[in-house]
Structure 1
Amino acid sequence: MNETVPRNVPTFAVVGRVNMGKSAVIATLLEIDDNELVRISPTPGETTRCQPHRVVFGGVECVRFIDTPGFSRPVEAMRAIQQLHGEGTPGLETLRRFVAEAGEDFGDEKRLLDPLIAGAGILYVVDPAKPLRDDFLAEMEILRWTGRPRLALLNRRDDATGPDEEAWKSRLGGSFNLVRTFDAHHARYEERLRLLKALLEIEEQHREQLEETIRRVEDEWQQRREEAAEAVLRFLESALELRVTATLKERDLHLPSRRERKAGELSKKYFTALAGLERDCVRSLLGIYRHHLLKADTDPGTYHGIDLESAETWSKWGLGRNQLAVIAAAVGGSAGLAFDLMTGGLSHGLGAALGALGSGGVAWFKGGSLPDLRIDFHGGVKLGAGEGRSLAMGPPKNPNFPWILLDGVLVRYRKMLARAHGRRDEELLDGGEGGFTRGFPAERRGLLQKWFVSCLKGAPNRALEPEVFDALLASLEEAERRS
């Protein structure tokens, strides 16, 4: 028995002509963006031997895919097989003789047929933008002769359709059990999952194992989303509690130029620390989703993340001013209501009304403004005689600040999930258009705002965290659907 095709594991050989995207299909399907594991190159014939790739859960191999050399002389190979067989239609035994007796001039064909003879199913990859020539028809015939379960995959490039695509589908439909379309450079999770489910339609022998594999893939994806939500929650909490400190000597307290210089130094220190928190969160997400060529930055010293010093960021990202005013009024009204309860109702609801009015008004007028990072020089902690004051800065006094942070993470999360692992170009995970948070349900906005306020005060509301986690989980799932 061929060692690459175990009897108890569903195995599929990925075959086709050279440079049709076989390796890219495997890389995207199995989320491998490492050339050491799956090498993808525009050079024809890059795969020169059969390379098994195992899908393992809990230490148990669930399914195996074999990357094979591409057909190099299919027409000549077809004729040689027919000559070996004589009259009638060749079958598995004739293919076995061909592999054993043919010379090395058919080396690629022999190597790709070897796992098929041993029992592997077939995933045949073609580029529908290519003309349907005789050599492709010869490949289909040879694969049909194996009698193995066969799925044909039209590997579109950038959603481009060729003039011969309908002809492709017609001819493939006559030789294969199933025909599906796929784009190895852009396929997302749902498309990858659909491809795995398509294998169920052609493989009866290992149906139960394939169903279990699909369940495990779905469970693992949910687990990854939960890990991502936890990483985002940690980032938001750390960012909203972030303060940076410095000491201003007593003799400098009354010198405006030195006070301004110290404020500039603290501001730079604050934004650098904030960018570091964001970078660490993005790196965690990249690790969770197995991206190595998509990077948070090229140089940690130059990472800037969300551009909080851009007026465009503060006007287009996060919530709109009306939304900010509504949720700020609601949270402020809740605080005022607590005051009313403490007074036994003697305030006649004045606390709730004033709280809502004040918070809503601040949110309306400051929601689209630039970040307000100031040092309270008079409020700084006074040190010993002659030592000066210990000063602190952060976070920005803008009600949209937490929402912009969340928008920035969701934008990067969406871009991350939109990148297929079959690509081999390095890319920076920069920002883009925001606006995710503006589409949140009002109930979710209100919940998050309460938690944001508690974090900004330096005392995160732990009782709210389970609900906040669920809200972030739902937000990531929505961003995933928009990727």
Structure 2
Amino acid sequence: MTTAPQFCVVGHPNQGKSSIVSTLVENDAVRVGVESGTTREAERFEFVLNGKVLLALTDTPGFQRARQVLAWLQQVPVAPAERPARVRAFLAEPSHQQQFPDEVALLSPIMAGSGILFVTDASSPVSTTDEAEMEILRWTGQPRMALINPIAPSNHSQSWQLTLNQSFQWVRVFNPMTATLPARQALFQAMAELTPDWTAALTELNRQLLHREQQRLQQVSIELADYWCAQLSFRQPLSLLPPSLLKQPEVWLQQQLDQAESQLFEQLAQSWGHGQSELARQLDWPIERDRLMNTETWYLWGLQQKELLLVSGGAGMATGAVLDLGLGGSSLMLGALSGGVLGSAAGWLASKQLPGKKLGWLPLSQERHYIGPVQHPNFPLVLMARALTFVQLLWLRPHAERSRLALTTQASDWDKKAQVQLLQWSKQLQQGKWKATQSHALSDWIREQLQQRLHSTLMQEQQQSLI
């Protein structure tokens, strides 16, 4: 049985060690802070895929008295081959637990067989303390790599690179706040070359990461398709609503649709290791525009009014977008942006109409027996744009990034064919003409959209990781 590679992440305090651990093991429970000394004791974190530990990282406190420790090691002249034994002697000295607690905490797992990831931000010139830390790590005799974490622009990167090259087998620049999968895989591959003992295990880790990404893409495409269909077809008999809501059933409907979106986003965040992630509240608007059923912002998520009319083939002028919540076929208008009404959208698919097919989006004559489904032709686009944007943001988000997720409000950039396709599907769904073949086609469409959205970003990241 192959043992998972183990590394200690070490360095001076406040260099971003915990952020690197969080991103590499995909765990946002790792404590990350801007204040010095966030990590006060060594803590082990495991990267688990399919129930198997593939990598273990120990987040250590930073060196505090490196020059004093090095002075103790150098008190007795020893040959290079005997230096690891000298480090073990330092750890075995009873008084050192009290005198050098941080150094004992970080050196103990290293001497137990862990590799070394030495982290520096290279923001200041190389000091004698830095040199002492690197020399101590060299004395351990363990496989070691140096990571330059570009927390801030630095004029000292070249001198750091030259210094690090003398003590470490590999020196890489790695930003845990921006590193997507290609950058992490490039780092794992470099770690695999530190010693033959870990080559197979870390190569397998990269292979499983790729396989997981393919599975994730397939699974999330199906989940988004099911979610989209459920939201578009959601309806409730008025007789089942509490009496207090009968006068404002649209409020209840909005709450249900908003809650369904929040639940989907939270479930995805949890399953992908981003349990701490939250959607940002954008307080510069007098309304909460991150909510799905914030109809005032639909023109940002779906199509602009003019584009919507072009796609839908609607006749008539419109000075504002209006939501039709379809009370049993009756039109209950909410969320007017600037006043006015949306002309009938019955002609939006006239060129695609089958003989005898009725395309009325805004029926006005039936008795009100139920609330929903939402029938505004912009709603399918709004619904899908928000879901795809959230998945894209979450997918590319390193686990060290702790800022709130903000759904950037922008008009959809899909071509007209894609827009019409979504509207076709939504109408077939709401008319009860939905079939399994259409469900498969929808999930395939979502997968293609995600692939296109992720491809350019990941390719750019991959090119940067090879520099």
Bin for the TM-score computed over the shorter chain: 0.7 to 0.9
Q: How far is the alpha carbon of 1:325 from its aligned partner?
A: 6.8
Q: Which residue of 2 aligns with 1:420?
A: 398
The alignment status of 1:453 with 2:427, answered yes or no, reads yes
Q: How far is the alpha carbon of 1:392 from its aligned partner?
A: 4.1
Query: Given the alignment, which residue of 261, 283, 290 partners 2:266?
Result: 283
Query: Given the alignment, which residue of 379, 394, 399 partners 2:373?
Result: 394
Matched residue of 2:295: which SS?
A: coil
Matched residue of 2:145: which SS?
A: strand
Judging changes above 3 Å, is the alpha-carbon distance between structure 1 residues 131 and 235 closer, same or farther for their aligned structure 2 residues? same
Give the counterpart letter for 2:190 in structure 1: A
- CA shift digits 1:82-141 (9 cap, x unpaired): 113357796222222222236232232233222222322111111122332111111111
Query: Given the alignment, which residue of 12, 17, 32 partners 1:17?
Result: 12
Query: Given the alignment, which residue of 199, 205, 214 partners 1:207?
Result: 199
Q: Which residue of 2 aligns with 1:265?
A: 248
Q: Distance in 2 between matches of 1:363 and 1:137?
A: 75
Q: Distance in 2 between matches of 1:86 and 1:208?
A: 34
Query: Given the alignment, which residue of 174, 199, 207 partners 2:166?
Result: 174
Unpaired runs of 5+ residues, structure 1, are 1-5, 248-260, 329-359, 382-388
Q: Distance in 1 between matches of 2:304 and 2:58?
A: 51
Query: Given the alignment, which residue of 131, 149, 156 partners 1:137?
Result: 131
Q: Distance in 1 between matches of 2:194 and 2:315?
A: 58
Give the counterpart letter for 1:119 in structure 2: G
Q: Which residue of 2 aligns with 1:196?
A: 188
Contact 1:129 1:162 in 2 (8 A): yes
- TM-score normalized with structure 1 length: 0.75
Worse overlay, 11-20 or 61-70: 61-70
Q: Distance in 1 between matches of 2:35 and 2:299?
A: 47
Matched residue of 1:438: which SS?
A: coil
Q: Which residue of 2 aligns with 1:250?
A: none
Contact 2:12 2:64 in 1 (8 A): yes
Worse overlay, 100-109 or 275-284: 100-109
Q: Distance in 2 between matches of 1:471 and 1:33?
A: 31
Query: Given the alignment, which residue of 70, 74, 81 partners 1:78?
Result: 70
Q: Distance in 2 between matches of 1:195 and 1:476?
A: 25
Judging changes above 3 Å, is the alpha-carbon distance between structure 1 residues 208 and 367 closer, same or farther for their aligned structure 2 residues? farther
Q: Distance in 1 between matches of 2:303 and 2:74?
A: 69
Q: Which residue of 1 aligns with 2:91?
A: 99
Q: Which residue of 1 aligns with 2:301?
A: 317
**Structure with larger Rg:** 1
Q: Distance in 2 between matches of 1:44 and 1:206?
A: 32
The alignment status of 1:124 with 2:118, answered yes or no, reads yes
The alignment status of 1:362 with 2:314, answered yes or no, reads yes
Judging changes above 3 Å, is the alpha-carbon distance between structure 1 residues 124 and 476 closer, same or farther for their aligned structure 2 residues? same
Name the structure with the higher helix share: 1
Contact 1:244 1:266 in 2 (8 A): no
Matched residue of 2:76: which SS?
A: helix
Q: Distance in 2 between matches of 1:291 and 1:413?
A: 12
Q: Which residue of 1 aligns with 2:48?
A: 56
Q: Which residue of 1 aligns with 2:439?
A: 465
Give the counterpart letter for 2:302 in structure 1: G
Q: How far is the alpha carbon of 1:368 from its aligned partner?
A: 7.7
Q: Which residue of 1 aligns with 2:352?
A: none
- CA shift digits 1:192-237 (9 cap, x unpaired): 3332222123232221111111111222233233332222112110
Judging changes above 3 Å, is the alpha-carbon distance between structure 1 residues 30 and 476 closer, same or farther for their aligned structure 2 residues? same
Give the counterpart letter for 2:202 in structure 1: L
Q: Distance in 2 between matches of 1:194 and 1:366?
A: 53
Q: Distance in 2 between matches of 1:294 and 1:13?
A: 26
The alignment status of 1:431 with 2:431, answered yes or no, reads no
Give the counterpart letter for 2:155 in structure 1: P
Q: Distance in 2 between matches of 1:46 and 1:263?
A: 53
Contact 2:176 2:400 in 1 (8 A): yes
Q: Distance in 2 between matches of 1:163 and 1:370?
A: 55
Q: Which residue of 2 aligns with 1:386?
A: none
Judging changes above 3 Å, is the alpha-carbon distance between structure 1 residues 432 and 307 closer, same or farther for their aligned structure 2 residues? farther
- CA shift digits 1:47-104 (9 cap, x unpaired): 3443222223343332221222221111121122111335779622222222223623
- CA shift digits 1:135-165 (9 cap, x unpaired): 11111112122232211111222xx221212
Give the counterpart letter for 1:438 in structure 2: D
Contact 1:368 1:400 in 2 (8 A): no
Judging changes above 3 Å, is the alpha-carbon distance between structure 1 residues 56 and 294 closer, same or farther for their aligned structure 2 residues? closer
Matched residue of 1:362: which SS?
A: coil
Q: How far is the alpha carbon of 1:321 from its aligned partner?
A: 6.8
Matched residue of 2:47: which SS?
A: strand
Judging changes above 3 Å, is the alpha-carbon distance between structure 1 residues 7 and 470 closer, same or farther for their aligned structure 2 residues? closer
Q: Distance in 2 between matches of 1:364 and 1:208?
A: 66
How many residues were matched structurally? 412
Alignment of 1:311-350 (within 5 A): 313-319=297-303
Q: Distance in 1 between matches of 2:315 and 2:124?
A: 58
- TM-score normalized with structure 2 length: 0.77
Q: Distance in 2 between matches of 1:303 and 1:244?
A: 25
Give the counterpart letter for 1:155 in structure 2: N
Q: Distance in 2 between matches of 1:407 and 1:464?
A: 19
Judging changes above 3 Å, is the alpha-carbon distance between structure 1 residues 176 and 439 closer, same or farther for their aligned structure 2 residues? farther
Query: Given the alignment, which residue of 252, 255, 276 partners 1:293?
Result: 276
Contact 1:275 1:304 in 2 (8 A): no
Matched residue of 2:369: which SS?
A: strand
Contact 1:152 1:178 in 2 (8 A): yes
Q: Which residue of 1 aligns with 2:360?
A: none
Q: Distance in 2 between matches of 1:21 and 1:166?
A: 19
Structure 1 vs Structure 2 CA RMSD: 3.4
Judging changes above 3 Å, is the alpha-carbon distance between structure 1 residues 366 and 263 closer, same or farther for their aligned structure 2 residues? farther
